[in-house]
Structure formats: structure tokens, C-alpha cells
Amino acid sequence: MRTLLITGPGGSGRTTVAAATAFEAARGGVRTLVLGADRTDTLGRALGSATGPVPTEVAEHLTAWRPDATERFRQDLTAFQARAAGVLDLLGATRLDAEEATPLPGAEELSLLRALRDAALSGRHDLLVVDLPPLAQALALLALPGELRRYLSRLLPPERQAARALRPVLGRLAGVPMPAEWLYETAARWDAGLAAVEAVLADRHTAVRLVAEPGPAGADAVRTAALGLALRGLRTEALIANRVLPDTAPDTWLAGLLAQQRKALAEWQPHGVRPVPHLGRDPHGTDDLAALAVPGAGSAPAPVRWPVTDRLAEDGVLVWHIPLPGAVREELDLIRRGDELVITAGPFRRIVPLPGALRRCTVAGAALREAELRIRFAPDPRLWPGTGG
């Protein structure tokens, strides 16, 4: 299944573009699901048909779904209280009723990730279009599965789960309570779900579409997004320049806006920019969506690769190439920690595992060249066969 993740700055029209992209694919006979995240039904307004917590067919070959984060949070809270009943009773805790539960920060993001996973695994559609939150929240959301899995592995290491049968004995010997079975089972269930989301995001058929209005603010947002997405290893399929004004606009007061628009569109040409016209009104319904003429889903772009090149014979090093368009040398930072590398690029940070060969090396330097971070690794004589030491 093909997955398109659509985001952009707040107010850029990303929801409308997501609806138009899904509608265009459905018109071509592609079984399409469009997934929305907004609390208000902006997706339904664009489609001209209300959307809700149950996937609903809004046109031929087109299904829309807006998950109910509140209900899902209540279900999770009820299930948690049932599993932790023994601990809660020991503490004298008073149970919360589902009706009084209000979603905590992050509940909507987790609900969207679960819906993305469920939709991708259902096998009922050929194309999944996801209307992500505004850009800053979307970049944090896309990083969430990997970060949560990392936290789980540190707090409840999988290798310790192998000793489940010994926990009662270990608890008596150590004199401290050991984690309950339900805790490990919950962690394993969460890890499996997050791994499924990561698999969708890393799939070669998954790509991102950026939506921005051509102008100074949009240009800044696109530069930031390009760096953040590159650091996550996500592919940008297209840049949608939304609400493009016609060059023939007669009003002289538009001259400044048109000049800014032309400058932004010229800068965006290397990104494969696709202009979408301004209709002079907020699009509403399938007729307006068709008039936008957004590009179809098409084929998946080439996957993002972080290759390691062997320069042992020439320079005595291996070089790890990490594409980081828009990165600034002064805003880059690297920290080697065990078998992981902590990469900071501007406002973004990611902890990545080192490829197998590089784990037996030491960092020998790094440089930013042609929008690519090139990290040099020298073989550690204590760990590298044939180098002595």
C-alpha cells in the first residue's frame, strides 16, 4: 500500500490538499482512505461530507476517517486500571470512571499513530492519505514511535523479560518487588504496535508531501521541514505551493505578493514544486477539490539512503554519508555514545544506531559538504581484525 503523509505550516491549506489528493486518486479508481487528525471536522468541510470516528465512504473508492482520541483514551484508561487492579488496591487508589477521563497531552497523537497502523495493516485500501498536524507537531509526531520504543527498551530491557519465571525467586532474594507480568506484557504490546508504525513510516512506498504558500514565511517553513524530515530519513515526494495567485492579477496592490510568490517558486524548483491555484475562496466539496488539480499519488520516490563508503585503502577510514539539506555547520553537533550516535541539526535531534562495521570504529572527524554530513570512522585496533593493537 502507498502512504502519503501531508503536512505544512498552520493555515497553509494542508487539509484541503490532503482531501484533494485523496479525491483525485479515488477518481482514478484507486481505493483510498484519507485519515484526519483535527478535532474539528475541517477534513469533512473540504470533502463536503462529514467525517467521524468510524471510517465512512464519502465518494466512490474514497473513505474518510477521523479517529476519536477521547474515546480511545477512555478505553486505554479502563484497560490500564483493570490490569493494575492489584497495585491500585494496595495503594488505596480510587478508580476513575471512563466518563470523567479527559485525554492527556499526547493522546491525540497516539490515537492518530494507532489509526495509521490499523489502516496500513487492514489491506482494504491501495492508498492511505494522512492529514498530519501542522509542521512542528508533525515532525515531533513522526519521531514519536522511535523515541517511545527506545524508552521502553531502556526501562524494560527485552533480555530481562526472559527471566519472568524467576521473578518471584529474585524478588524474595533481593528483598524488593519485581515488575509484574502485566507490565512486561503491556510493554511488549506497545513495542509491537510502535514497531508496526515505524515499519509504515520506513516503507519504500511511504513519502511526505509538504504544503506551503509561496512567500517568505512559507520558504522558511520549507527549509526547516526539509532538514527535519531528512534527519528522520523520510522521503519528500513533492512540494505543493498552495493558493498560487495568477500572474495576470490586475490589482496593483498584489504586485508585492506576486513578486514574493515568484521568488519562492523559483527557490522551490529543485524540490519538484507543484503549484496549486488559488480559487478565490475556501474549497468546499468535490467540485472545488477537482478544480485544484493536485498531482496524483504517482509512484514512490527513491528511498533515502545513508550509505557507508569504504576509504580504508586511500585514507584509512570509513565514511558515513547522511543527507541533511538546509543544515548549517554552526548548528550541527555529534555525540558518540556506545553503539549510538546523537545527531543535532538546528532544532532537531535524533539518536541513531551505528551500522555494524562502524561500531568497531572511533569517530575521526566530520564535515558538512554539499548538503551532506560526512562522518569519518577509523577502525579501532582493539576491535578490528588485522589492524594490530
| Statement: residue 85 has pLDDT above 60 | yes
| Statement: residue 177 has pLDDT above 80 | no
Residues 34 and 19 sit within 8 Å (Cβ to Cβ): yes
Report the percentage of the chain scoring pLDDT > 70: 87
Task: Write down the mean pLDDT value for the chain.
Answer: 86
Q: What is the pLDDT of residues 100-156, one digit of tens each?
A: 767 667 778 888 998 999 998 888 999 999 999 999 999 999 999 999 888 888 877
- 181: pLDDT confidence band, cut at 50, 70 and 90? low
Residues 122 and 214 sit within 8 Å (Cβ to Cβ): no
- What is the C-alpha to C-alpha distance for residues 358 and 383, in angstroms, rounded to an integer? 11
Strands of the chain, DSSP E: 2-7, 32-35, 56-59, 62-65, 127-131, 206-212, 236-244, 273-277, 308-311, 317-323, 332-337, 340-345, 348-353, 361-369, 372-379
> Averaged over 233-253, what is the pLDDT?
82
Interacting residues of 36 by C-beta distance below 8 A, sequence separation 6+: 15, 18, 42, 43, 44, 51, 64, 65, 66, 131
- 367: pLDDT confidence band, cut at 50, 70 and 90? very high
> Averaged over 314-327, what is the pLDDT?
95
Residues 18-29: b if buried by 16+ CB within 10 A, e if exposed = bbbbbbbbbbee
- What is the C-alpha to C-alpha distance for residues 47 and 15, in angstroms, rounded to an integer? 10
Global pTM reads: 0.86
Show me where the domains of the chain are located: 2-69+104-292, 308-379
- 86: pLDDT confidence band, cut at 50, 70 and 90? low
Report the percentage of the chain scoring pLDDT > 90: 59
DSSP-assigned beta bridge partners for residue 244: 277
Superfamily of domain 2-69+104-292: P-loop containing nucleotide triphosphate hydrolases (3.40.50.300)
**3-class secondary structure, 294:** coil
Domain range 308-379, its CATH number among 1.10.150.240, 3.40.50.10800, 2.60.40.790, 3.20.20.30: 2.60.40.790
